[in-house]
Amino acid sequence: MTIRTSLMKRASIAAILASGLALAACGEEKKEEQAAATNETATSAAAPATAPAGGDTKVGILFDVTGPIASFIPPMMDSVKLAEKEINDGGGLLGGKMVTVVGDTTGATQGAVDAATKLVNVENVPVVVGALMSGTTLAAANAVTIPSGVLQISPTATSPDFTTLKDNDYVFRIVPSDAYQGVVLAKLVLDQGIKTVALTYANNDYATPLATGFATAYKAGGGTITAEVKHEEKQQSYAAELGTLAKDKPEALVLIAYAGDSGTTIVKEALENGLFNRFIGTDGLRDNKLIEQIGADNLKTSFFTSPSAPESDAAKKFDELYTSAYQTAKDKIFIGQTYDSVMLAALAVEKAGSTDRVKVRDALREVANAPGEKILPGEWKKAKELIAAGKDIDYSGATGEMEFDANGDIPGVIGHFVVDGNSYKQVGLVNP
């Protein structure tokens, strides 16, 4: 389905996007200071991880296995296993096998610090894939991976704070910033002819900046936000907040939160009390748990945005690989990003020729960015042979080109999703 022409002029959209990205560059002062403090010790604290020649090489997987996004994890772990099997069947890593070691953040900042500490100091990994939520990823980065000098690649962390994080080039992500998604969401809402909305968002590192970017762009494009409420997570009821949000009878409720936390509760209460019947959300709400608990019929006019992937040979190849191993890739969120992150982590180690943490960090851009011979999903053996021959490679991922900028960000694309039966269906890509 083609997204119809924006209600905003192209020039206006460009200005709004620039405004959104400028917002990301600001960051939160407190977090920048913390990151700067940890960065001062990063070089001196970094210690190379070592593995015997021909021995197994560990790669850390720092995932929010339990907590508000637990329902996302099983298919993402399948992507980890898919990449691990491909690597080991295709010659292994550094002459031995790649072994993934999983740490559970429990969906909490302290849990992220504890799990990352174990991966880095006990398991002695040279690279960490994860975390997934922005808050847990930032906590692990600031407290552990940056001061320890360990490369960290997140498949899903979207907070704008990563763009300005003083990380000594140790922290990367392969999804676009929420500063970008907020602008894209505003464009989509306006394109759907929705001129008035209420906005509520969770008080966390993921939802707050995304909501700010959306609100700025939506109002600049001519939309009206009738009420805006920041809410706390894990409340038993949001009746008071919903009363405020529904007071002026807006056309829809924009809800930016995790379905596994406040999101489902808010949607359920809004429907039960006849306050809203149309909901607009982002990837945190695009969770099968929402459909299971609310019902597809109650969400038939709702829609969502989420990081996605453009059509490409690489995307097609990944879909074939995943489907062959796990029956279907349909409606399994972030599986491509997870696969790409694990492959990039392993390619960086192989290119470095050792588990020396500084060398692994420096090798990431060499295998991810042009120039070099293209490497697609399923081509580990080819990549390994080219690296051994001293040739440059350029990994083209399941979710797009992995061209990292100076901040460790990639452009990425955003998809438009609707509820289709018992799952979500992408009906187009949204471009600013």
pLDDT band at 54 (very low <50, low <70, confident <90, very high): low
Is a pLDDT exceeding 50 seen at residue 270?
yes
Percent with pLDDT over 70 in the chain: 88
Q: Are strands 393-397 and 151-154 parallel, antiparallel or unpaired?
A: unpaired
Answer for the pair 198, 187: CB distance below 8 angstroms, yes or no: no
Instruction: Give me the pLDDT at residue 26, please.
Output: 36
Computed from CA positions of residues 13, 8, 177, 179, in that sequence, does the dihedral angle turn out positive or negative? positive
User: First CA to last CA across the chain, in angstroms?
Assistant: 17
The two structure tokens encoding residue 321: 């690989």
**Where do the DSSP E strands lie in 164-298?**
171-173, 196-202, 224-231, 252-256, 279-281
* 153-164 tens-digit pLDDT: 999 999 999 999
Angstrom distance (rounded) from CA 157 to CA 101: 20
Pairwise CA distance, residues 119 & 284, whole Å: 26
| Rounded Cα distance, 150 and 46, in Å | 7
- More confident position, 13 or 179: 179
pLDDT of residue 48: 55
pLDDT digits (tens, 9 = 90+) for 317-343: 999 999 999 999 998 999 999 999 999
Alpha carbons 407 and 322: distance in angstroms, whole number: 30
- State yes or no: pLDDT of 310 exceeds 70: yes
Q: Distance between CA 399 and CA 334 in Å, rounded?
A: 9
DSSP-assigned letter for residue 96: B
| Predicted TM-score of the model (pTM) | 0.84
Place 24 in a pLDDT band, splitting at 50, 70 and 90.
very low
